[in-house]
Structure formats: C-alpha cells, structure tokens
Structure 1
C-alpha cells in the first residue's frame, strides 16, 4: 500500500542506519529489538533477534535488552497514570494526587 518511492526512501534510510559507525552491529540489533518491542512489531522483533544472534549477541544479552524495554514501558505506564491522576485530581493510594499533593493543595 506504500508508494514505491516512499518504500525506497525507507530502505535507503534502513541501510544507512546499519552501516558501520560508532555502534557495532550487535549493539544496533539489541537496540532495534528493544525498539521493536515498544513498537509492538512482531516481525521486526523476530528479525532483530535473529540478527543479534548472527552478530554475536548471547541469549543473556538479548534477555537484558528485553528487560530494559520492559522497564522503559513500565516507567511510561507509571508516568502516564500519574499525569492522568494529577490532571483529573484523583487520589492515589497514599491519599495524594500524582504530584504528591493532597487534593486542594495540602501535603
């Protein structure tokens, strides 16, 4: 469904980002697999796991990259819910809103 010219631009960008640079290819694949998790791209995830293994990543390194992605996603959920609670002036479990203040401005 994507016009060929846009697909070509994407593939050019993709090739450029995986050229030799400051980050080695194994590191790039570990970053890409973590990003694939946050993007919820199954095909991307499987492809980058295969490439990470190909470029020397251990199962432990892959597991750690996954754990980091889990942590980032969990932090995003906490941040979003804290902001929503503050915006909506909802009390949290400790009786404060998301900013640590009690509704009405008292601490």
Structure 2
C-alpha cells in the first residue's frame, strides 16, 4: 500500500516585493484562512525582528502582509518594526508622505 503525504506551505516571506496594498490584503486574507506566515515567521517563534535596513524597509503593503502573521502566529509576544516605512515615506526633499493602510491594518489585527 502507498502512503500519501500532502505537504503544505506554512511559512513564506513576501516582504519587499513592491506589492500594492490591495494585492497584499488579498494575500493576507488567504494566509489567515490557510494559517500561513507571509513575513517568514515560524510557528514556534515568540519574537520577530523585522527591523528595517537600508534598502529593505517594510512599506504599507508589507505591514498588511504582517497582519496575517499576527493572526496565525499566536505565540508571538514581541515584534520589532523599527526603521520601517509602514506609515509612509520621505521623498528626496525630505517631505513626508503618509500612507495609513498599513498602520490601520496592524491596529485592527492586534485588537
């Protein structure tokens, strides 16, 4: 007799792919349903260091991806999001451009 094994995706890291917020929201909805991390957070993790680095800063769409992780990774007690651009960005003239979808989505996920 054959034994059939069905592997399923549990962790992916889709940050920094320049997704728009609508696409990120669609992915996050599916990830919540399927219990998949979209920011590379493993099931056993209690802490996640997602601190931004030069050239790798999470934007609003990435923050929306994170909402799936906040829902499916109940073991998380600490997440470092410092140094990211989840609430907006500065242009070359140092003018700030707010983008509120990411922070609003995170606030909703941690309620």
Same fold judged by TM-score > 0.5? no
Structure 1 or 2, whichever has the larger Rg, is 1
TM-score (norm 2): 0.30
Question: Which has the bigger relative contact order, CA under 8 A and spacing at least 6?
Answer: 2
